Structure 1
Amino acid sequence: MDPTKTETDGAKGTPLSTESKVLETGAAAGQNFGPVKSICAHLNAFHVYASDPARCVEANHYCSHLNEDVRQCLIYDTPAPNARLIGVEYMISAGLFKTLDADERKLWHSHVFEVKSGMLIMPGPNGLPTGIWEAAETKEMEQVVGLYGKTYHFWQVDRGDKLPLGGPELMMSFTQEEQQPGLKELIGERDTRFGVDSQQKKEKRGYIEEPEIHTGIRSTISQALGGDMY
């Protein structure tokens, strides 16, 4: 999935007609699109299926803030203009997470490993010096490390589906590098495409304090084996 691609492969259907393109251009010129314009961050990481920890998928998050405690993200398979919308993620502060009941907590995950390992990145704009962008990215990670996420995917692109088939799939975050064979290679391939070094990011984020991970969230490994929650 080349981040410079202008189209996404694999969706079933016919190309846009001239009429649809004209209507699309007119709508774009005349409508506000306020909720979409509030998107302020592009984050890239990998999500793992809660129902099958052997499967994972790359996820491009486009996130906006509702307030200081709540964020909401649209998730696409690539950063291309006509990428497939594959899911959504909500992120909340630790304070709000502590108000959730035990059953609800099982649907949420921590971002600590994603941040501290360098897996979670904020792809930078072309032409901006790397050092300047990484400083902004690291400040963003200082906030994300303490947030809890609830994610559902509707389009299982990793199995080659041409349409969003079946019910929604609850997704989780990785909690350790050994959680899935080949994860290191997946991250390396992603890094190459985006021109980043997640190991370097791990070192730069070393100073970020790891927050307490509150009890009740799902551990994809232990749940697959019939074990306990964190």
Structure 2
Amino acid sequence: MRKSCNFFFAMLCLAGTAGIGSGVMAQESAKPKTEPPGAGKSAKTRTLEAGAKVLQSNAPIEGFDIYLVGFHPIKDHPEQQMEAHHYCHQVNEDLAQCVLFDGNTKGANMHGVEYIISEKLFETLPADEKQYWHPHNAEILSGQLMAPGIPEVAEKSLMKTKMNSYGKTWHFWNTGQEGQLADKLPMGKPMLAWSFNRDNEANPGLVERRDKKMELNTAQKRKDRADLKALAKPQSGVDELKGKFGRQTQDIPGVVDKKAAAAARP
């Protein structure tokens, strides 16, 4: 792990980079379900990779040192859902950019990208652009979005900075989940992803399987973050997929759609 720290990794550095690194390594348990076709790497390819590692710079990706794991339903097909391992770079206080994988092991497949912006930047977007950005409060308050392997106080501080933020996520490869067919290679058009904004929107077992294999506890995390509800503001897009999951769902306290909040005002 890099020893330099961005603004919301300061608490992690205080905890000591060596200890944090060992915690993250302990969480490397989410293996991808899809193995793409193709011949194994030749000796020549491996030699070229080794040389490139020594001689070439990887400066653009050095800052992707924040690891998050959560879930995305596809906006046009909400029952198609993905576990997404985010490796993010905090560009500044209001913008982060993330590369998404279907696991956190060496063989993980890159299956998407996400840009995360603050409420301040979201409000500057044109109205027709806002339809592409999903809200994050439910992901945080439900406990589903996590930063595995770091101290609890640091993770909660990180989640606090992301309250009321928005994400624009494109998945390019359906690498599959349990009970869903996967594509062996990236196929078709990019898929705009959304967020879960009510309990029971996630397919049965999706969150539980993630928690079991990574030794996480979504229910406990939700309790630990209950005080963050006081920071939650009504967000755009909360009701975008309401009623589209084919099963009964329940509101999450503190998660409110901006249009519904405005309509409820006297």
TM-score normalised by the shorter chain: which range applies? 0.7 to 0.9
1:188 aligns with 2:208: yes
Shift of 1:36: 1.1
Q: Which residue of 2 aligns with 1:204?
A: 224
Which is further off, 136-145 or 204-213?
Answer: 204-213
- The residue type equivalent to 1:98 in the other structure is E
Amino acid at match of 2:226: G
Q: Does residue 1:25 correspond to 2:43, yes or no? A: no
Alignment coverage as a number of residue pairs: 218
Find the aligned partners of 1:91 and 1:57 in 2 and give their Cα distance. 18
Deviations 1:130-156 (A, max 9, x none): xxx111111111012221000000001
Q: CA deviation at 1:40?
A: 2.2
Preserved contact between residue 30 and residue 214 of structure 2 (Cα < 8 Å): no
TM-score, length of structure 2 as denominator length: 0.76
C-alpha contact (below 8 Å) 1:7/1:81 kept by paired residues? no
Change (3 A) 1:180 1:217: closer
Of 162, 167, 188, which aligns to 1:149?
167
d(CA) in 1 for partners of 2:209 and 2:106?
A: 21
Higher mean alpha-carbon deviation, 80-89 vs 207-216, is at 207-216
- Residue 103 and residue 188 in structure 1: after superposition, are their counterparts in 2 closer, same or farther (change >3 A)? same
Displacement of 1:30: 1.6
Q: 1:6 deviation in Å?
A: 7.5
Does the residue aligned with 1:55 lie in a helix, a strand or coil?
Answer: strand
Tell me which amino acid in the other structure corresponds to 1:192.
Answer: K
Contact 1:112 1:210 in 2 (8 A): no
Work out whether 1:137 is the aligned partner of 2:159.
no
Matched to 2:153, the amino acid is A
Q: Deviations over 1:66-125 (max 9, x none)?
A: 111110000001011231110000000101100112211110111111101110011116
The answer on 1:96 being equivalent to 2:121 is yes
The answer to whether the 8 A contact 1:46-1:58 is kept is yes
Change (3 A) 1:99 1:157: same
Question: Structure 1: how far apart are the matches of 2:54 and 2:234?
Answer: 46
AA paired with 1:205? Answer: R
Q: Which amino acid aligns with 2:47?
A: V
The SS at the match of 1:106 is: helix
Give the unaligned 5+ runs of structure 2.
Answer: 1-26, 247-256, 260-266
In structure 1, the partner of 2:184 is 162
Look up the equivalent residue of 1:144 and give its one-letter code: K
1:174 maps to which of 196, 205, 211: 196
Say which SS state the counterpart of residue 41 (structure 2) adopts: coil
How far is the alpha carbon of 1:64 from its aligned partner? 0.3
Q: What is the aligned-residue identity percentage?
A: 34
Q: CA deviation at 1:54?
A: 1.2
TM-score (norm: length of structure 1): 0.87
The alignment partner of 1:179 has SS state of: coil
Contact persistence 2:116–2:165 (CA under 8 A): yes
Other-structure match for 1:118: 143
Determine if contact 1:108/1:218 at 8 Å carries over to the other structure.
no
